[in-house]
Each structure stands twice: as C-alpha cells, then as structure tokens.
Amino acid sequence: GQQVMQIPQYQHVQEGEDFTTYCNSSTTLSNIQWYKQRPGGHPVFLIQLVKSGEVKKQKRLTFQFGEAKKNSSLHITATQTTDVGTYFCADGGSQGNLIFGKGTKLSVKP
Amino acid sequence: EAGVVQSPRYKIIEKKQPVAFWCNPISGHNTLYWYLQNLGQGPELLIRYENEEAVDDSQLPKDRFSAERLKGVDSTLKIQPAELGDSAVYLCASSLAGQGFKQYFGPGTRLTVT
C-alpha cells in the first residue's frame, strides 16, 4: 500500500544545533501534514502543505514541500529542550485519511 | 474550547476478554477517526466516520473489532475477544469539514492485554 518514509528514525542533538527530518513518498501527494507528539502525549497538528514547492515558517520551524510533491522536510533552527518529541509527516490524501510515516524521534541534550 | 475526550486512559485486561473505548469529539466536528498506534510507530487508521456513517472501515479487523457512532457525536470502539497483539494506544481524532482535514487528537487509551 501507499507509504511515506521518514528519515532519520532518531536524532540526538545538542541544544542550539539545527535539526531536519525528511519525508518521502513513491507517489505524488495531494497534501502533506506534519504533527508533533511529545513523550507520553498525542499527535498535535503543526502544518499542512498543499502547493508544489511550498515553504512555510513557524518561528524556528521551516516546512518545505517538494516541487514534485513527493517529498517534504521539517527543519528546526537552534533546537531547544521544548522541541523534544516525535515528528510525523502524514499523507493527507484526498478524503482526509492520514497515512503516517514512522516518525523521527528528536532528543535534545541541554 | 474543549478538546477530544477519551476514556479510559489506561486499560489492562486478560486475553480473550472484551474491552471498549469511548470518544467524545470536539463539538461540531462531523468527522471522527479511530487510530491504533503501536510503540515506535505512527498512528494507523482503523475507521473514519462522517456523522454517523462509517465511510472507511477497510482497515478495521472486523472479526474482533467493532465501532459505532449512533447519534453522530460520541463513538465507541470495541474489541472482543482481545488478543495479546492488540496491546497498543488507541487514538480518537476529529476534524471539521472545510479545515483541510486538520485533525485534533485525543489523549488516547493505552491498552495492555496480558
């Protein structure tokens, strides 16, 4: 079935370093959503990207959607301990059924 | 605005026993989803409701899982009988039509089958 692949699976950074997670699909995505799940918590919506080549920023977070709409990335500048958690990308599909990647677990060392 | 409410938060049962999870979505959200999340994995959709109609239950193991949303608001997910492999977190989410399918997740029910 359709899958979205995320890399890396884990990332350990020193506070203040940058972090990037990548999401790839073998098929063209109608849209992609990003969610953050804190340890012991539930997924929380971050953003949706719809247009080819779209770039959106939220403070220290930058989201990109590839030109071919088959890949996406999330970049965090100058990580903080509050950024700890697992970041999921999800294929938004055309009916709202999300297909999640396996996520990238970020740990930040103070 | 109150978020998605789920209960119980935790449940421990023995295999072959039945179990039920309850979800109350955000008021006004007509779309409700049940997901299963295994440790270290992303959520996987089990069923999606539009109002009271199950519009996608293709991933629901119907031999032991059932769900209902009788009045188009609250929903219940049931497993009977539970198996060891059903141990996971069961997440409920809701969305409002027209918001680009942005989904709001509840805190989940962590099920342990012994």
State the pLDDT at residue B99.
58
Burial group, residue B69, by CB count within 10 angstroms (0-12, 13-18, 19+):
buried
Considering only CB atoms, which chain A residues are within 8 Å of B47?
none
Q: Which of A31, A33, A97 is opposite residue B48, by nearest beta carbon?
A: A97
State the pLDDT at residue A96.
74
Beta-carbon count within 10 A of A94 CB: 9
Residue in chain A nearest B46 by alpha carbon: A97
Q: Which of B43, B55, B107 is opposite residue A100, by nearest beta carbon?
A: B43
Q: Which of B61, B57, B81, B80 is nearest to B69 (CA)?
A: B57
Cβ distance B91 to A43 less than 8 Å, yes or no, reads yes
Rounded alpha-carbon distances, angstroms, from residue A27 to A4, A97, B96: 9, 16, 27
How much of chain A, in percent, has pLDDT values that exceed 70?
97
| Token digits of residue B80 | 């009977």
Question: Of residues B12 and B1, which shows the higher confidence score?
Answer: B12
State the pLDDT at residue B80.
97
User: Is the pLDDT confidence value at A94 over 80?
Assistant: no
Distance from CA of A92 to the nearest CA of B (A): 8
pLDDT mean across residues, chain A: 94
State the pLDDT at residue A1.
56
Q: What are the φ/ψ torsions at residue B53 (nearest 5 degrees)?
A: -95, 130
Residue in chain B nearest A96 by alpha carbon: B101
Cβ distance B42 to A102 less than 8 Å, yes or no, reads yes
| Token digits of residue A103 | 């996520």
Cβ distance A48 to B100 less than 8 Å, yes or no, reads yes
State the pLDDT at residue A2.
63
Whether residue B54 contacts residue B67, with contact meaning beta carbons closer than 8 Å, is answered with: yes
CA–CA separation, B110 vs B114, rounded Å?
13
Q: Which residues pair with B63 in a beta bridge?
A: none
Distance from CA of A102 to the nearest CA of B (A): 5
Residue in the structure block whose two tokens are 């959709």: B45
What's the pLDDT tens digit per position in A5-49?
999 999 999 999 999 999 999 999 989 999 999 999 999 999 999
- Tell me which of A105-109, B19-23, B58-62 is least confident: B58-62
State the pLDDT at residue B72.
86
CA–CA separation, B7 vs A68, rounded Å?
42
